[in-house]
Structure 1
Amino acid sequence: MTSVSVKHRIDYSYDHKVLLSPHRFRLVPLPDTHAIIEEYNFVLWPANSLYWQHDVYGNKLARADFANKTDFMSVEVTLDIKLNSLNPFDVLVDDEAQRFPFLYPSIVKNALLPYLQIVDRSSVLTAFVGCTEKFHGETLSFLVKLNQHVSNHIRYVHRLEPGVQSCGMTLKTRTGSCRDSAWLMVQVLRRLGLASRFVSGYLIQLGTTSGDSVELHAWAEVFIPGAGWIGLDTTSGLFTSEGHIPLAIGPGPEQVAPVEGLTEQCSASMTYQFKIESSKCL
């Protein structure tokens, strides 16, 4: 087991004092994360009215209402976490879902309808999905091959522009950020008849050649009867592990934005920083 302390700060600067609409912050780990959250703190400047809420998807969020104009906004999250090793393949898939393709039982499918909605019917996506038929077989093996196929096909780029690319754009350019390839995977899975959702969270990586790191990340999850929601990291081509700390889930990227809100018209800039410390524990 490893103890990890994380500090995440985001600073917004505006070129003059502006009114801020109510802002929502989805920066709280979900309760069913595999990590043990020992301590959590959320601080927001300037002074505001802060309310803790839950949305329909079970995400916990902070809503801030600002009374006065301001030329800055800063948010700081600190986390103390214990990470336990996780084997993502240690699951029991129901008999009827052991091999893909399979069909969800009707009662399960009805509960999953928001995660089966297809919003991209482009011909380029249709062609890409058609190429995955060769991966059919044992379900977990199929997911491994599909995830690696998407990862190998899309070159990761650090894209600063807001929003998510269309699947067609990601496939045509064969490049995308983590959120772009994750959204592509969500739509590929749905075209294959598998319920999938979009996840925003922290990715903690320990002991890499460049040291320990933490960053905001995005990935996809697919629902397999018996196994539940399985995380697929399309950036690495691997299943998610103990270092993936989910903050928000939803049918699409628009439901899981880490920070959501509007300002009066102005020129704005944003900076962020992460700090991480880790230590082994008994």
Structure 2
Amino acid sequence: MTRVSVKHRIDYAYDHKVLLSPHRFRLAPQRDTQAIIEGHSFVLRPANRLYWQHDVYGNKMARADFDEKTDFMSVEVTLEIELTSVNPFDVLVDDESQHFPFLYPSIVKNALLPYLQIVDRSSVLTAFVGCFEKFHGETLSFLVQLNQHICNYIRYVRRLEPGVQSCEMTLRTRTGSCRDSAWLMVQVLRRIGLASRFASGYLIQLGTASGDSVELHAWAEVFIPGASWIGLDTTSGLFTSEGHIPLAIGPGPEQVALVEGLTEPCSATMTYQFELTNH
């Protein structure tokens, strides 16, 4: 068991005073994270009226309304977390779902419809998915193979441009950020009949060759009856673990933006920083 503190700060600077629209922040950890969240604080400046809400997918969300014009905005999130090693394979898959392919019971499938929508029908993706459509075997073993295949096939790059690449672009270039390969995984899973969703949050890594670290990260989740949602990290090729702290989860990237809001026309810069303290 390890206790850590995470501080995450985002600063926006505007070249003149502007009026900010209502902003929404999905920067609170999910209740069902594999880690234990012992404390969470959210500080936003300038002065605002803050309302805590939940979106339609159950993500906790802060809405801020601003009355005065400003030339800056800053957000600071602090988390106190207890990390205990978990075995992602220690799950009980329902009998009828232990071997792939399988069909969801109708009542389950109806609840999962938003996570079964296929929004990318490119021929490049169709050809890629064809490699997996004929697989028959143990479900968890199949997910391991699929996750590792995408991890090995797509070279990770740190991409600063906003948004997510199309699956076709990711497959043609064989490169992508964590959010690009996660979205590819979501669409592959749906093509083979498995409900999947997009997750965005923090990744805490301790004791690596480069030291301890925390950063924003994205991964995919797949619904397996009995095991519920299983996280697949396409950057590492591993199942998610206690170091993955989800902040927002939904059918696709556009539903889980961590910060949403508009400003009057201006020139703006954004900087961010992380601080991880291992107790």
Q: Quick check: TM above 0.5?
A: yes
1:276 aligns with 2:276: yes
Q: Secondary structure at the match of 2:110?
A: helix
Q: Where do residues 10-49 of structure 1 align in structure 2 (5 Å cutoff)? A: 10-49=10-49
AA in 1 matched with 2:256: V
The 8 Å contact of residues 205 and 213 in structure 2, kept in 1 or not, is answered as yes
- Structure 2 Cα separation of the partners of residues 208 and 7 of structure 1: 20
AA in 2 matched with 1:152: N
Match of 2:199 in 1: 199
- Structure 2 Cα separation of the partners of residues 217 and 135 of structure 1: 29
The 8 Å contact of residues 135 and 146 in structure 1, kept in 2 or not, is answered as no
AA in 2 matched with 1:74: S
CA deviation profile, 1:167-200 (whole Å, cap 9, x unmatched): 0011011111100100000000000000000001
Q: Where do residues 101-112 of structure 1 align in structure 2 (5 Å cutoff)? A: 101-112=101-112
Match of 1:236 in 2: 236
Q: Secondary structure at the match of 2:204?
A: strand
CA deviation profile, 1:75-134 (whole Å, cap 9, x unmatched): 000011001111000001111111111110111100100000000000000000001246
Deviating more after overlay: 128-137 vs 113-122: 128-137
Q: Where do residues 176-255 of structure 1 align in structure 2 (5 Å cutoff)? A: 176-255=176-255
1:36 CA displacement: 1.0
1:135 CA displacement: 4.5
Query: Can you give the 5+ residue segments of structure 2 that lack an aligned partner in the other structure?
Result: none
The two structures have a TM-score, normalised by structure 2, of 0.99
AA in 2 matched with 1:23: H
CA deviation profile, 1:36-64 (whole Å, cap 9, x unmatched): 11111100010111000001111000000
1:210 CA displacement: 1.1
The two structures have a TM-score, normalised by structure 1, of 0.98
CA RMSD of aligned residues (A): 0.8
1:132 aligns with 2:132: yes
Match of 1:91 in 2: 91
1:136 CA displacement: 3.3
AA in 1 matched with 2:200: S
Match of 2:69 in 1: 69
- Structure 2 Cα separation of the partners of residues 136 and 169 of structure 1: 29
The 8 Å contact of residues 198 and 250 in structure 2, kept in 1 or not, is answered as yes
CA deviation profile, 1:147-178 (whole Å, cap 9, x unmatched): 00111111111111111110001101111110
Q: Secondary structure at the match of 1:262?
A: coil
Work out the number of aligned pairs and report it.
279
AA in 2 matched with 1:118: I
The 8 Å contact of residues 99 and 138 in structure 1, kept in 2 or not, is answered as yes
Percent identity (aligned): 86
Q: Secondary structure at the match of 2:188?
A: helix
- Structure 2 Cα separation of the partners of residues 195 and 259 of structure 1: 26
AA in 1 matched with 2:206: L
AA in 2 matched with 1:87: N
The 8 Å contact of residues 101 and 135 in structure 2, kept in 1 or not, is answered as no
1:70 CA displacement: 0.7
